[in-house]
Amino acid sequence: MTKIEAIIQTSRFESVKDALKEAGIEGMTVTEVRGHGRQKGHTEVYRGREYSMDLLPKTKVELVVADRLVETAVEAILKSARTGKIGDGKIFLTKIDEAIRIRNEERGENAL
């Protein structure tokens, strides 16, 4: 099993969600986050004082999938999240040791 963590442009979230659904991936957890990578933020001016806003709002999508589905899922996210501009975000993959369904204690891929 693999955890896919994708930090994406908030404006692309709906299309990422649709693309994952089409690819047959079920379930995800979504958080609103703030951050930046190499991209610099923008400036805001309040009463003549400039503030550089380097932590920008992003959306983080987390999903855990069976290993055979990882490439499909990553492909779906890459295609749907890309605008081609700086700030499109990143995808991180991590190995998952175990998954347990709380309701009936099923384990492993069956729990996904």
Partner 1 sequence: MRRRRAAGVFLILLALCAGPLWAQAPAAGAAPATSASPQASADASQLHARLAQLEQQVADAHSAGDNAWMLVSAALVLMMTGPGLALFYGGLVRKKNVLATMMQSFALMAVVTVVWAVVGYSLCFHTGNPFIGGTGYSFLYGVGAAPNPDYAATIPQQTFMVYQLMFAIITPALITGSIAERARFSALMLFMVLWSLLVYSPMAHMVWGAGGLLNNSGGRFPTLDFAGGTVVHITSGVSALVAALYFGKRVGYPKQPMPPHSVVLSFIGACLLWVGWFGFNAGSALAASGLATSAFVATHFAAASAAIGWAGAEWIRNGKPSVLGAISGAVAGLVAITPASGFVSPRAGLAIGLIAGVGCYLMVATVKAKFGYDDSLDAFGVHGAGGTIGAILTGVFAKSDVNPVFHDAAGKVLPVGMLEGNAGQVVNQLVGVAIAWVLAIVGSLVILKIADLLLGVRVTQEEEVEGLDVTQHGEEGYNLEV
Q: Is 57 in the site for partner 1 (CB under 8 A)?
A: no
As a whole number of angstroms, the distance between CA 61 and CA 59 comes to 7
Phi, psi for 31 (deg, rounded to 5): -130, 150
Token digits of residue 60: 């983080």
Q: How far is the CB of 2 from partner 1 (least distance, A)?
A: 27
Q: Is 102 in the site for partner 1 (CB under 8 A)?
A: no
Site string for partner 1, 11-50 (x = CB under 8 A): ---------------------------------xxxxxx-
End-to-end Cα, the chain, rounded Å: 9
Identity of the residue, 53 or 93, whose beta carbon is nearer to partner 1 in the bound complex? 53
Closest-CA residue to 68 (of 23, 104, 100, 105):
23
Residues near partner 1 (CB under 8 A) are: 44-49, 51-53
